[in-house]
Amino acid sequence: MSCHPKNYTNLVSDYRDKSSSAAKIFRRGENMCGIVGYIGSKNATDILLEGLGKLEYRGYDSAGIAVIKDNSIQVEKRKGRLAVLKESLEDNHVEGNVGIGHTRWATHGEPSDVNSHPHLNNEHTVAVVHNGIIENYLSLRQELTEKGYTFKSETDTEVLPFLIDYYYEGDLVEAVKKTISRLEGAYALGIIHKHHPDMLIAVRKDSPLVIGVGEGENFIASDIPAILNYTRQVYLIDNNEMAVLTNDSVEIMKTDGTKVDKEIYNVEWDVEAAEKGGYAHFMLKEIHEQPKAVKDTLSPRVDKDGMVNIKDLKLDEDYIKRINKVYMVACGTAYHAGLIGKAFIEKYANIPVVADIASEFRYANPFIDENTLMIVVSQSGETADTLAALRLAKEKGAKVLAVTNVVGSSIARESDYVFYTWAGPEIAVASTKAYTTQIIGLALISLDMALKRGTIDEIKVKEIVGQIWKLSDKIEMILNREEEIKDMANEIHTSEDIFYIGRGLDYYLALEGSLKLKEISYIHSEAMAAGELKHGTLALIDKKTPVIAIATQDSLYDKMLSNIKEVKARGAYVIGVAKETNKEIEEIVDKVIYIPEVMDELATPIAVVPLQMLAYYVALNRGCDIDKPRNLAKSVTVE
């Protein structure tokens, strides 16, 4: 059974073929924030708000619009979800026939009104929305400050209206071209200028952008759903291309000015499917986003010579040397990632780590003093129990380091140090890409701590970082085995109980695999340390009971094979997970999922992927509401 809606089959295979234009649009769907723009004769505000609503899945910590009316640019932008912007527009009417809009997922600067897009120059003649990252913004900011420009926000984007203003001598297209020639990084831009109310400019490099062609009106957007209610005719803009839109024309050129002839693409799919980038569910999309999420989290933290560099975390060296205990505190999946972090820190930084569930930690009597570091792990940064644990630890004198995915979240704001996972917004309730990136973050933190404490040498760090680099490709290899995993899901989806077993890190992974299955398929499941089975739980293993046996740890492989034999002897149906070099497992189990060869400590972020997919396809077979499982919420802000 295909999980992709019918009309998407071609698109998704295109998407995997990196050469197609359609592919690029959706491949880049992971690059968060959303932009939209309109030029025509209708009220731009309504169209922009509708488009932003369709893009909110790309980011949702602030939103804004800018519209030209009577020779001036009117702007409204607000921290919070789109609803906040809509409410404030009820009091402050903004209308006109040309405009741009943005929904943001903060990267540079916390979510706030002033950091929201659109950004304008000091005279409010130019407005810009941007999706992506301007890597050289600091030097540009300095240069522009020296020229007399005053920055209001902490964003990288604000350099753009200033640069356009600086180069503007009456020709907006020329000013934009000159601006682009100064930029390093990724960007999809929408630009309007009050002296050119009949023009909307769009530019793309490494961030998605489409142009919608209407009758007497034209559109720009980060993703097709934003404009699909108005037109199905789109141009898929490629890297280093820009487009000049008027009511009646779309001119596409390279950023060096060479004209580009493009074919119009006729969109045949429906809006809801398009938001998910062609996948049937956000969960499946997010599983597939993991190679990129891992790369995005890692690449800003590694120097050219392969050394870990998390200096922006500003972990004080004397303090790190002094620490004699770490508490690793989180809930659910984030806690499971924390368990892997515990193993890293103990092994490399040589500090004892107590991992605890936040709701338990709060009511225990933790031994905390000024030599204790607490690491809290939280995708949302808003989990009530984790936040309360953090406050308790601070009260008792510990410093707190947060590993979180949401810039400016409560946990990020209240912690002493913050490591952001750059996984992009996670929409599905079941956490997937947050988990893998949390492990990457914790591994890097452990290496940095180990270097500061002198418990590791640089050569070893480079070797481990080298292996972390390769994770992304290895995850991709697993993603290509989706069909095998679907077959396995078909075998077990009618079961009432499914067990997950493992030893060492594989036990921690078993906890995560089991949780994923429970929450989305509603099948009862238990994760056990494999060596503990015979102390009670083995009594539950019966003929055909499915057991997922994880055996990725070389050091525990033989022991694990013995445990698998124990459950096989009771008639269990066993699916093994092992490294592709460890083939003996084939002799014992019913099915096996192989993962590429990797050092033991880094097996988890690869081996979790087939477990996520297994849970997904089991739930799909059972017809469950995968993205919104019953009784659960994405952000648990109550105790």
Least spacing, CB of residue 520 vs ligand F6R, in Å:
8
Q: At what angle do helices 604-621 and 458-479 cross, to 10 degrees?
A: 20
> In this complex, which beta carbon is closest to ligand F6R, that of residue 15 or of residue 327?
327
Work out which of 45, 62, 431, 604 binds ligand F6R, going by CB under 6 A: 431
Work out which of 157, 222, 383, 436 binds ligand F6R, going by CB under 6 A: 383
In the chain, the amino acid numbered 500 is Y
Cβ-closest position to ligand F6R = 332
Work out which of 253, 477, 479, 636 binds ligand F6R, going by CB under 6 A: 636
Least spacing, CB of residue 387 vs ligand F6R, in Å:
9
Least spacing, CB of residue 412 vs ligand F6R, in Å:
12
Q: How far, in Å, are 106, 362, 409, 506, 573 from residue 557 at the CA level?
A: 43, 36, 41, 10, 19
- Interaction of residue 222 with ligand F6R, rule CB under 6 A: no
Residue 358 · residue 388 · CB < 8 Å: yes
**Total binding residues for ligand F6R by CB under 6 A?**
15
- Give the C-alpha separation, 634 to 627, whole Å: 10
- Interaction of residue 437 with ligand F6R, rule CB under 6 A: no
Least spacing, CB of residue 463 vs ligand F6R, in Å:
30
Work out which of 101, 161, 197, 332 binds ligand F6R, going by CB under 6 A: 332
Neighbours of 260 (CB within 10 A): 15
Which residues form the catalytic set?
33, 634
- Interaction of residue 116 with ligand F6R, rule CB under 6 A: no
- Specify the residue for token string 């912690």: 415
Which ranges constitute the DSSP H helices of 37-106?
Answer: 44-55, 82-91
> In this complex, which beta carbon is closest to ligand F6R, that of residue 176 or of residue 337?
337
In the chain, the amino acid numbered 515 is L
Residue 269 is encoded by which pair of tokens?
């799919």
Least spacing, CB of residue 238 vs ligand F6R, in Å:
36
Residue 302 is encoded by which pair of tokens?
């590694």
- Interaction of residue 297 with ligand F6R, rule CB under 6 A: no
- Interaction of residue 421 with ligand F6R, rule CB under 6 A: no
Torsion of CA 599, 605, 609, 614, to 10 degrees: 90
> In this complex, which beta carbon is closest to ligand F6R, that of residue 383 or of residue 472?
383
Work out which of 45, 131, 378, 563 binds ligand F6R, going by CB under 6 A: 378
3-state secondary structure of 362: coil
DSSP letter at 302 equals B
- Give the C-alpha separation, 427 to 628, whole Å: 9
- Specify the residue for token string 């820190």: 345
Least spacing, CB of residue 385 vs ligand F6R, in Å:
8
- Give the C-alpha separation, 213 to 264, whole Å: 9
DSSP letter at 316 equals -
What is the residue-wise DSSP string for 158-182? THHHHHHHHH-SS-HHHHHHHHHTT
Residue list 10-39, contact with ligand F6R (CB under 6 A)? none
- Interaction of residue 286 with ligand F6R, rule CB under 6 A: no
- Give the C-alpha separation, 475 to 332, whole Å: 22
> In this complex, which beta carbon is closest to ligand F6R, that of residue 42 or of residue 394?
394
- Give the C-alpha separation, 309 to 448, whole Å: 8
- Give the C-alpha separation, 427 to 57, whole Å: 7
The window from 237-245, 332-340, 503-511, 614-622 that contacts ligand F6R (CB under 6 A) reads: 332-340
Least spacing, CB of residue 445 vs ligand F6R, in Å:
16
Residue 546 · residue 499 · CB < 8 Å: yes
Residue 37 is encoded by which pair of tokens?
């723009």
Residue list 333-352, contact with ligand F6R (CB under 6 A)? 333-334
Work out which of 31, 290, 380, 563 binds ligand F6R, going by CB under 6 A: 380
- Interaction of residue 386 with ligand F6R, rule CB under 6 A: yes
> In this complex, which beta carbon is closest to ligand F6R, that of residue 331 or of residue 489?
331
Least spacing, CB of residue 384 vs ligand F6R, in Å:
9
The window from 52-60, 253-261, 287-295, 325-333 that contacts ligand F6R (CB under 6 A) reads: 325-333
Which ranges constitute the DSSP H helices of 227-278?
Answer: 271-275
The window from 14-22, 213-221, 278-286, 328-336 that contacts ligand F6R (CB under 6 A) reads: 328-336
- Interaction of residue 427 with ligand F6R, rule CB under 6 A: no
Least spacing, CB of residue 508 vs ligand F6R, in Å:
14
Residue 198 is encoded by which pair of tokens?
């009949």
- Interaction of residue 359 with ligand F6R, rule CB under 6 A: no
The window from 8-16, 82-90, 255-263, 378-386 that contacts ligand F6R (CB under 6 A) reads: 378-386
The window from 73-81, 173-181, 229-237, 372-380 that contacts ligand F6R (CB under 6 A) reads: 372-380
- Interaction of residue 612 with ligand F6R, rule CB under 6 A: no
- Interaction of residue 430 with ligand F6R, rule CB under 6 A: yes
Residue list 503-522, contact with ligand F6R (CB under 6 A)? 515, 519
Q: Per residue in 455-492, is it b (16+ CB within 10 Å) or e — as a string?
A: ebeeeebbebbeebeebbebbbebbeebebbbebbeeb
Which ranges constitute the DSSP H helices of 422-457?
Answer: 433-453
Residue 241 · residue 252 · CB < 8 Å: yes
Residues within the interface to ligand F6R (CB under 6 A): 331-334, 378-380, 383, 386, 430-431, 515, 519, 635-636
